[in-house]
Chain A
């Protein structure tokens, strides 16, 4: 397949299809993923193509879904499960934290769990409460989990294929507001893999560090800044754990200034981790403290107030303006 116009939802669907064709042990299950094809249609047509043995609805219980995946993986399967929404993954938290994350370590590497937990994630779709959580920090904070979040259509395909092939459990965060974003893409398992960040846009003046849903916002901000004569570099993390210190620090060293852009609340978050790591490693290259544009430290707001929670181009540009340009 060369260069087709696809939405992120379609690219994810194709990744599942191709992974299931390539490997019979790949199973897809969760709530409403069968006949309905998932509430976001990511599993559309999989039951029709692969049968109910390989793509199936479970009883409605997230802890059950993840716990079942652990057992299946212990016995040779590669389960891919869907948590219907970020906040509905919480009933499975016990299984994720106590077993999925720890199994390999507690058995001294004897049991590995090649499980992918897919999650429609974050906000920007006007969803009512419990449908827009940015829960990456809970997972990133849990040793043993690999956490990825695609920010482009092409990467959605590549990262999901790689997550399914990955030997260890992966939390796969799908930015739901990007599900319908379309792009001209070449569906191949491209480089780089999990654990690598990429520079999406070059720029010498300051670096924006983004992941998942904030990648397009950061790129938009860079576009706007260019119009005002300031060149912003944009780094897309892709992989939160493992964290690509090398690429991120090299990027920040090139510009000496940085802003981290994330939807999640800022307190004790992935964004605060990024600031800490980069500061520890690049202190002498920094011309200003690293700024963050994040969600407020509040539960995700109702639809009519959600725009106040989301990082905007204006907030990013204000933060860039604040990077002590006059005080070198």
Chain B
């Protein structure tokens, strides 16, 4: 036994504070059966019923967007089909003063935050690089360069602290993104600055074709917080109840000044990476099938029906509401919008450079000649 020194880490207490639970937190299993958890409470039935309606709408958005890609109305769509519980939980735990930092896969989360679905899909439609006002709903532009947005999230959270604002930032990323340097820098910065950020990893087992086993040999992605002094927790990513409990607690801790929190949701990408991807090149359908049984909507349906909170009437209402969103999506995206080429030059600088003005005039002239 070596002697205690100034380098000794109180491993027991550190582990208690930082280590995720041995099993992902699950309050409702795939059969819709509730389970007690020593640490986390079942959310109120009415909260879950509201969540159910959002899940149904989220699924409908995913499937409608998939269809619109096939009809050429969207350039590309990375679906969160099967991950809707993560998408919805991430925003349900936030207050109006909080921020969401989404990726390309988080359309449903953005819509759940209140952003207009057509504006949300402007990027993927190919109209413009972002379609919504980030300040209106406190939703950052969707990030494509992986993990880069996590540092921005830390900055927004740090500014909020400096200004004395009661803001928590929910920063989303995938399992693959945790391999990028920026992920690690973000965790470390957030911890050092005690920034109120909840890093929420949707571990859907794949980064395009690469399975998690080739991404990391860490015991879990939530364990990645330990080295930075950031507490980690894991939840069943297809259980809305467990996610709300875990994310809700993480948000509360960040808000109370306890610093950043890391949450990993265990879920699965049941569809290909995007419409442009062919998943049969790298995985068997047999691997996907069990995950269809773990569907987040099915289990919440079973649980709430069992409780008597969700009857046929309420389910039909949820379906109707989802249909309305899908109709609006279809209608909006069927309209042929041609973005104004003049905008190409408008927003690059506060004041366009003389060169950009010249180039804008050149293009305007060219377009005018095209018309004759």
Contact = CB atoms under 8 A, between A and B. Distances in A.
Range class of the B interface residue count: 35 or more
A308 B363 contact: yes
B126 A128 contact: yes
Contact of B339 (A36, A60, A91, A302): A302
A305 interface: yes
A60 B282 contact: no
A82 B363 CA distance: 35
A296 B345 contact: yes
Contacts of B69: none
B182 A91 contact: yes
A126 B69 CA distance: 13
Contact of B123 (A37, A129, A267): A129
Main secondary structure of the interface of A (DSSP, over half): loop
B284 to A, nearest CB: 12
A34 B348 CA distance: 39
A87 B145 contact: yes
Interface string B331-372: 000000111010011001000010110010001001000000
Best-surrounded residue of A60, A62, A87 (most CB of chain B within 10 A): A60
Contact of A304 (B209, B215, B216, B339): B339
A299 B208 contact: no
Given A57-B214, A302-B129, A305-B344, A296 B363 contact: yes
A305 B144 CA distance: 19
Contacts of B281: 35-37
Contacts of B176: 60
B215 A59 contact: yes
A128 B208 contact: no
Contact of B124 (A62, A128, A308): A128
A47 to B, nearest CB: 11
B14 interface: no
A301 interface: yes
B252 to A, nearest CB: 31
A91 B181 contact: yes
A50 interface: no
16 contacts: A32-B210, A34-B209, A35-B209, A36-B282, A39-B208, A57-B210, A61-B179, A63-B181, A128-B124, A128-B126, A298-B348, A302-B126, A303-B126, A305-B339, A305-B341, A309-B344
Interface of B: 75-76, 123-124, 126-129, 144-146, 176-177, 179-182, 207-210, 214-216, 276-277, 281-282, 337-339, 341, 344-345, 348, 353, 355-356, 359, 363, 366
7 A-B pairs with the lowest CB-CB distances in the bound complex, closest first: A303-B126, A36-B209, A59-B179, A35-B282, A60-B176, A60-B179, A129-B129
Given A32-B210, A61-B179, A129-B144, 18 more contacts: A31-B207, A36-B282, A39-B208, A59-B179, A60-B207, A60-B210, A91-B145, A91-B181, A128-B75, A128-B76, A128-B123, A296-B345, A297-B355, A297-B356, A302-B126, A302-B128, A305-B341, A308-B341
